[in-house]
Amino acid sequence: MQYYNYSENKQRGTFDFPFEFYHVDSSHPRYEMAYHWHVEYEIIRILTGTLHVTMDEKEFTATPGDIVFVNSGILHSGIPSDCVYQCIVFDMNAFLKNNPRCSTYIKQIIDHSAFVYHHFTLKNQQIHQIVWDIFNAMESQKTGYELIVFGELYHFFGVVFSEQLYFSDSPQDRRDYRKIMQLKKVLDYMEANYSSPVTLEQLSASVNMSPKYFCRFFYQMTHRTPIDYLNYQRIEHASYQLATTDVSVTEVAYNCGFNDLSYFIKTYKKYKGITPGKSKIRANE
């Protein structure tokens, strides 16, 4: 998936239809969903294989037919296994326009007083059918698909409230809230500085921790060492640049914080399983 930043700020869709659709399979340079967060909301449907999802500190595995709902501001990642999945990322503010009766419910979600459940399986047939209709409309884009998307998302949120498929606790009330905020801060630091030399001391200082404690904290949260994760993120940026630009492999390596081409190639092969090359993708993915 095209995640330039851990905290994303790109325009989704258009001003009057702020919905973006992504289709992701193993050929996609953003196949593995790195830790990131965004102010928009996201719905993911699993077509084949499995997707191991982490949301803040909670983990679960989504299987074919499952639906994942990502609330605004939630730090999340996804590790696919022979997986094909699709995502719709959208701005909830689109549901506040000219609809005061419905907006009272939507505001509860935007204000984080209601957190939609993050994982729906095939057992919830009503939710499954609604979401499948939304994705099919976004994928086909037949005449009138915008009406289906808006209508079915209203339907979705209506079922969420009528069946109480949400949590009512705010993120600030959770015990892990402070750790999540610290992790977001260091990930934002990595994102802002991945193209430059970054030391362990700089990473730990960004969240006011000692290097020793920071390494333990970061591994506990991500199951990777800080430097390993930084290199992984550099490779993600490199993979996207190689797929979407005409920049040479050498220049991409230097753009992404590597000062040794052979080390870049070795690291790229470690994470991607192949040597770096060109693989164009669709512009909106």
CATH code for the domain in which residue 203 is found:
1.10.10.60
Q: Is residue 137 part of a domain?
A: yes
Same domain? For 159 and 234 the reply is no
Same domain? For 233 and 202 the reply is yes
Give me the domain span that covers residue 192.
177-272
0.85 surpassed by pTM: no
Tokens representing residue 44 in the block: 């993911």
Q: pLDDT per residue over 205-246, tens digit each?
A: 999 999 999 999 998 888 889 999 999 889 988 988 998 889
Same domain? For 27 and 81 the reply is yes
| Domain final position from 171, 190, 221 | 171
CA 84, CA 80: separation in Å to the nearest integer? Answer: 8
Neighbour count for residue 42 (Cβ, 10 Å): 20
Amino acid code (one letter) for 214: F
Same domain? For 132 and 35 the reply is yes
Q: Judge whether residue 3 has pLDDT over 60.
A: no
Neighbour count for residue 64 (Cβ, 10 Å): 15
Same domain? For 259 and 215 the reply is yes
| Domain final position from 171, 203, 227 | 171
| Domain final position from 171, 194, 217 | 171
Q: Is residue 21 part of a domain?
A: yes
CATH code for the domain in which residue 128 is found:
2.60.120.280
Q: How confident is the model at residue 7 (pLDDT cuts 50, 70, 90)?
A: very low
Q: What is the reported pLDDT for 175?
A: 60
Same domain? For 49 and 157 the reply is yes
- Backbone torsions φ then ψ of 281, nearest 5 degrees: -130, 170
Q: pLDDT per residue over 61-112, tens digit each?
A: 999 999 999 998 888 999 999 999 999 999 998 898 777 889 999 999 998 8
- When computed from its CA atoms, the radius of gyration of the chain, rounded to whole angstroms, is 20
Q: What is the reported pLDDT for 8?
A: 47
Same domain? For 259 and 132 the reply is no
Q: What is the reported pLDDT for 180?
A: 82
Same domain? For 15 and 130 the reply is yes
Q: Is residue 281 part of a domain?
A: no
